[in-house]
Structure 1
Amino acid sequence: MMIFPTMELMDGRCVTLDKGRLDEPMVWHVDPVETAKSFAAAGAEWMHITDFNALQGNSDNVELIEEIIRTAGIPVQLGGGMRSRETIETWIDKGAGRIVVGTLAALDPALISDLAKHHPDQIVLAVDVWEGQVMTEGWRQAGAFDPSSFIAAFGSDPFAGIIVTDIDSDMSDVEAQLGLISKLASEAKSPVIASGVVRGADDIARLKYINNISGALVGRALFRKTLTLEDALQVAQPQPEPVAEFL
């Protein structure tokens, strides 16, 4: 299972949000570029960035993200504010390894299907769920879709992955989140990446045995130091199957 160490950026700083509330960010006093390099040094094969400024329609983090893409040493999966083909393809041209789309997929599914076919293994579908509905506009707008129907509408489009976030489940109720994620993973044609469920190593250990879960975003736990990236990567490795001894 792939671990995506995750960095959420606002005004050039690493932050985490409580249920997507942009007005109450928890700011982490670290250097984003050096933090990205540390992900690579720890052995991560990918990292994930969400640009909260882009979600609000401004480009304040563009130069910072470009620097991270150039210098991190691992490919970047980038989400936030991807509202047009031009924006998505511009970031692909700038070297982003994968682009995450959510709102645009709800507004123009035909465009996202076309992009997935033209950029195989580079488009990731974001499915953010609140009270059984897919949310858009950075978790601020309820859509008209239930998550199963939303995923099914894209059929076998060649997404690099589908990120599933259960927004309304409290972090203390990981069982409920795992229930939703495992259900959607069993229905999806593309591999599912779990978001918002990793507090510690035990959560990774459980995730890796759910069918069609290919990865997990891990951010808050790393910044809070309840989990090291080295431990997360180690736990995510497949365990060798026991081999019977023949006498």
Structure 2
Amino acid sequence: MIIYPTIELKDGKCVSLTRGRLAEPEIWHIDPVETAHGFAEAGAQWMHVTDLDALTGEGDNNELIEEIIRTAGIPVQLGGGFRSRDRVEQWIDKGAGRIVVGTMAAHEPDLLRELAKYHPDQIVLSVDVYQGHVMTDGWRTASAFTPEDFVRAFDGAPLAGVIVTDIDADIAEQDGRLGVISGLAAHTRHPVIARGTVRSTDDVARLKYIPNISGTLIGRALMARDVDLAEALAVARPEPEPTATFQ
């Protein structure tokens, strides 16, 4: 299972949001570029960056994100406000390893399929779930789609994966959160990346054994030092299969 250490950017700062409230970010007083370097030094294979300002069209983190992509030393999975072909392809050209798309998939599903066709294994579908429905526009608008129907609609596209977020994760019980993730993982052939479920290293261990979970994003827990990245990476590594001893 792949651990995606995560940076959320707002006004050039590392932040965390509670239930998507953009007006009330928790600010972490750390350097985003140094933090990205630290992820690579700890042994991460990938990292994830969300540009929160791009969701609202305010602010500009472009230069900062370009520096992270250029210097981190590991590929970057980038999300935040990708609603047009031009913006997706612009960031692929700038070196982003993957682009995460959510709202576009709800409004222009054929465009998402086309982008996935021309950029195979570089497009990730984001599925944000609240009260049984897929949310769009940065968690602000409820769509008519159930998450199961939404992910099934893209089973034929060569996606790199599907990020599943339970927006109620901060207030739900652990079993309930894993139920949403594991249920959706059973409804798609694409590898599922869980978000919003890890508060401790034990949560990584639980996710590791859910079928079709290929990874998890960890942001707030790393920033608050509730999870040590090197330890989480060690837990997520596949265990060697037992081998028979022949005399």
Q: Please, what TM-score do these two structures have when normalized by structure 1? A: 0.97
User: 1:14 matched to which residue of 2?
Assistant: 14
Partner of residue 76, structure 1? 76
Matched, 1:150 2:150: yes
The corresponding residue for 1:218 is: 218
Q: For the residues of structure 1 that align with 2:25 and 2:218, how far apart are their CA atoms?
A: 17
RMSD: 1.1
Closer, same or farther: CA 187–143 of 1 in aligned 2, 3 Å: same
Is residue 171–residue 197 contact of structure 1 (8 Å, CA) maintained in 2?
no
The structural deviation recorded for 1:162 is 0.1
1:174 aligns with 2:139: no
**Residues 6-155 of structure 1 mapped to structure 2, 5 A cutoff:** 6-155=6-155
Partner of 2:239: 239
In structure 2, how many angstroms separate the alpha carbons of the residues matched to 1:119 and 1:135? Answer: 25
- Segments of structure 2 that go 5 or more residues without pairing to the other structure are none
Cα distance between partner residues in 2 of 1:103 and 1:194: 18
Q: Equivalents in 2 of 1:71, 1:222: separation in Å?
A: 20
- In the TM superposition, residue 246 of structure 1 has moved relative to its aligned partner by 5.4
1: distance between equivalents of 2:95 and 2:55? 20
Deviation at 1:245, TM superposition (A): 4.5
Paired residues of 1:199 and 1:221 also in contact (CA < 8 A): yes
Identity %, equivalent residues: 64
Distance 1:65 1:128 in 2: 23
Would you say how many aligned residue pairs link Structure 1 and Structure 2?
Answer: 247
Q: Distance in 2 between matches of 1:91 and 1:174?
A: 35
The two structures have a TM-score, normalised by structure 2, of: 0.97
Cα distance in 1 between the residues matched to 2:206 and 2:87 = 36
1:100 aligned counterpart, secondary structure: strand
Secondary structure (helix, strand or coil) at the match of 1:187 reads coil
CA contact (8 A) 1:164 1:181 kept: yes
Q: Secondary structure at the match of 2:216?
A: strand
**Alignment of 1:208 onto 2:204:** no
Instruction: Structure 1: give runs of 5+ residues left out of the alignment.
Output: none
**1:208 partner letter:** K
